[in-house]
Amino acid sequence: MEPLRIGVLGAARISDKAIVVPAQLTGHRLVAVAARDRARAEQFAADSGVERVLDSYQAVIDDPEVEAIYNPLPNGLHGPWNLRAIAAGKHVLSEKPSASNASEARIVRDAVAATDVKFMEAFHYRYHPVIARMLEIAGSGELGDLRHVDVHMSFPLTDASDPRLSLDLAGGATMDVGCYAIHGLRTLGSVGGGEPAVVSASAIEHASTAGMDETMEADLVYPSGLTAHFISSFTVPEMDFTMRITGSEGEAFAHNFCVSSIDDRIDVTVDGQTRTEEMGKKTSYTYQLEAFADHVRNNAPIYSDADDALIQAELIDAVYQAAGLPVRPASTI
């Protein structure tokens, strides 16, 4: 496969593991980067093997050698810069959530549909064997009649200045880690009869920002009657990225369904007997970049395209509305 020629918007913390290392492992080129602070961009390029530093995000998009954009900017800047990249005819790998709300996600979806551009929302976990195996177990009948799914997506966030706590930048626990919980539950729709719907939700707001959720939990139900619950929080003592599927005959438990390179174990318990399956420590980000490249080069199907991103954003908005909080505002450049 001809290497992708990728431009990076910003020098975000996530970029090293989400795009730099995967590109190194798969042979794709990081052609250009820009950041608000040029010195930071130059350091990022030197550390990461990016070929050149440009003066602005728009310059990266306009670079004729760049064919795909990786967008790891703060949440509120995903939609506007995704639209800029699409308008320039560039393929887009956008960090999640790829838009601030469903209205913006619909605009992005329509822009993609009007072009030949390939778009992927970066739900990297969806491309790892752990979630594929959880789906396989759930659908195999081994657990009996499926009863309930429980997902935890929480980690401690202690920096009050972090943009993930900015309402203007579409922050919040639901937008950050919670969107993985929601997408994970949506992924299980194939064994639940379709997309889940929100039954109820409740949030704990950040003390200094009205409307900003530092904890969110919600109950959902699938068309089959299978129930689900998730909790996402910034106020826990340690990371908890778990998924538990319970049936009438047993359960399957993924120790870290989201970042499985940290812990790739799945425990399957049936008739009081537990076996542990290990699915491999290759990073989900590497699987994701491989899938994105195959989508761009060969039109291979993906799980998190612009149509999926719209459905995802609609469910996120529904969670906020059920909890009595405002949906996240869209930003402008």
Domains of the chain: 5-123+287-304 (3.40.50.720), 129-281 (3.30.360.10)
Tokens standing for residue 291? 């899938």
Contact (CB, 8 A) for 183 and 121: no
Which residues in 114-212 belong to E strands, given as ranges? 119-121, 146-154, 197-205
Amino acid letter for position 80 = P
Tell me what pLDDT residue 74 has. Answer: 97
Give the model confidence (pLDDT) of 86-98 as tens digits.
999 999 999 999 9
pLDDT-derived band of residue 208, with 50, 70 and 90 as boundaries? confident
Tell me what pLDDT residue 85 has. Answer: 98
Give the model confidence (pLDDT) of 239-271 as tens digits.
999 999 999 999 999 999 999 999 999 999 999
Question: CA 289, CA 282: separation in Å to the nearest integer?
Answer: 12
Question: CA 34, CA 60: separation in Å to the nearest integer?
Answer: 7
pLDDT-derived band of residue 115, with 50, 70 and 90 as boundaries? very high
Mean pLDDT of 277-289: 97
Q: Is 118 a catalytic residue?
A: no
H helices present in 174-305, as ranges: 179-187, 189-192, 284-298
Tell me what pLDDT residue 186 has. Answer: 98
Mean pLDDT of 270-285: 97
pLDDT-derived band of residue 127, with 50, 70 and 90 as boundaries? very high
* Torsion over CA: 202, 72, 24, 35 (sign): negative
Q: Which of 66-70, 154-158, 207-211, 259-263 has the lowest mean pLDDT?
A: 207-211
* Catalytic pick among 96, 118, 281, 282: 96
Mean pLDDT of 170-188: 98
Helices (H) and strands (E) in the chain, counts: 12, 14
Distances in Å between the alpha carbon of 60 and those of 66, 145, 211, 269? 7, 51, 34, 50
Contact (CB, 8 A) for 266 and 137: yes
Within 13 Å of residue 246, how many CA atoms lie on the same side as its CB? 8
Tell me what pLDDT residue 312 has. Answer: 98
Mean pLDDT of 142-168: 96
The pTM of the full predicted model, rounded to 2 decimals, is 0.97
Which residues have a Cβ under 8 Å from the Cβ of 46 and sit 6 or more positions away?
Answer: none
Question: CA 285, CA 20: separation in Å to the nearest integer?
Answer: 10
